[in-house]
């Protein structure tokens, strides 16, 4: 067992099983879904870029790598090559796709690409305040379901977008991200949506519109595509592939009625529960790491 695994095992936190069994699980899931949609519905072109970056986990790694950046220690430099290296095991994007996403994020003011001090051949990926603000909003949205299920004063730091907490959380997340990503990889039904442009946003939108029978109605393929900057053909192909795997059932002209099958709903619930468990674990580790600094500041 690695030192990280030992620390994880020794840190009390909410488990996925506890989240799934919580009596307010359905309401918490709705908070999660509504918070996700509030972040990504609007500017379709910008949303597609943000969702692409999210799909390859680039946002999280850029912020986390920079949180651990020490100029005097080359091993901590948040370079383009290091970013690609840490993301390579997930096979989410090719080198060329990664370069394209990084360039477009820089054009939209989310990143700055700067020569490394003392080595102009190395390019540092520096998050801007635009990216930090977006990431703090994302973190606040993710913590709201936990705060709802388990009222805890310590959750106020992320839900109130505390910058110092955010930096500490990102530094801790850097070591835990590869470990936590295994939950997504082990969830085959959801992996289909993770592997497609805007796939998770499309799934979450369908979950948001779902009625008690598990059917999402009222949106055509074109409607969904416009919301997330993808074509109706892309949406239709994704949902048709999901149907071939027994995850959806399509009816009505233009895909206006999409039935989400029990295996897909169970997989989404498991992903949500795993996400909350990992988030609570990182939160506990963050509070533990901050405690000595807070005690020193109080002296």
- Is residue 57 domain-resident? yes
Residue 265 has a pLDDT of 93
- Is residue 130 domain-resident? yes
Assign residue 82 the CATH number of its domain.
1.10.10
- Domain count within the chain: 1
- Is residue 160 domain-resident? yes
9 by DSSP, 3-state: which? helix
- Is residue 275 domain-resident? no
DSSP H helical ranges for the chain: 3-10, 16-21, 25-40, 44-55, 58-67, 80-87, 95-107, 129-149, 156-159, 163-185, 188-194, 199-208, 221-228, 232-244, 262-298
- Is residue 144 domain-resident? yes
- Is residue 247 domain-resident? no
| Cα dist from 278 to 24, 35, 291, 295, whole Å | 19, 18, 20, 26
- Is residue 202 domain-resident? no
pLDDT in tens, 136-159: 998 999 999 999 999 999 999 999
User: Residue 126: which domain range?
Assistant: 12-177
pLDDT at residue 31 is higher than 90: yes
Highest averaged pLDDT of the listed ranges 14-28, 53-67, 162-176: 14-28
- Phi first, then psi, for residue 42 (nearest 5°) are 150, -110
């Amino acid at each position: 067992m690695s030192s990280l695994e030992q620390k994880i095992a020794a840190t009390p936190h909410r488990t996925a099983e506890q989240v799934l069994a919580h009596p307010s699980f359905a309401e918490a899931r709705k908070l999660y879904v509504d918070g996700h949609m509030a972040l990504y519905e609007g500017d379709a072109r910008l949303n597609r870029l943000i969702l692409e970056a999210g799909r390859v986990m680039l946002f999280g790694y850029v912020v986390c790598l920079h949180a651990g950046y020490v100029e005097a220690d080359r091993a901590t430099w948040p370079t383009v090559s290091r970013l690609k290296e840490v993301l390579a095991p997930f096979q989410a994007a090719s080198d060329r796709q990664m370069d394209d996403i990084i360039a477009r994020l820089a054009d939209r003011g989310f990143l700055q690409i700067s020569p490394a001090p003392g080595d102009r051949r190395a390019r540092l990926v520096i998050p801007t305040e635009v990216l930090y603000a977006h990431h703090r909003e994302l973190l606040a949205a993710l913590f709201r379901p936990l705060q709802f299920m388990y009222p805890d004063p310590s959750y106020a730091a992320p839900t109130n977008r505390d910058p110092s907490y955010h930096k500490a959380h990102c530094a801790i997340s850097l070591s835990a991200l590869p470990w936590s990503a295994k939950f997504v990889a082990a969830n085959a039904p959801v992996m289909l949506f993770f592997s497609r442009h805007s796939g998770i946003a499309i799934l979450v939108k369908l979950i948001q519109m779902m009625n008690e029978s598990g059917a999402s109605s009222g949106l055509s393929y074109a409607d969904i595509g416009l919301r997330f900057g993808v074509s109706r053909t892309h949406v239709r192909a994704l949902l048709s592939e999901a149907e071939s795997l027994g995850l959806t059932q399509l009816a009505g002209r233009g895909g206006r009625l999409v039935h989400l099958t029990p295996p897909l709903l169970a997989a989404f619930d498991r992903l949500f529960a795993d996400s909350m468990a990992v988030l609570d674990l990182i939160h506990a580790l963050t509070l533990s790491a901050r405690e000595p600094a807070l005690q020193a500041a109080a002296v």
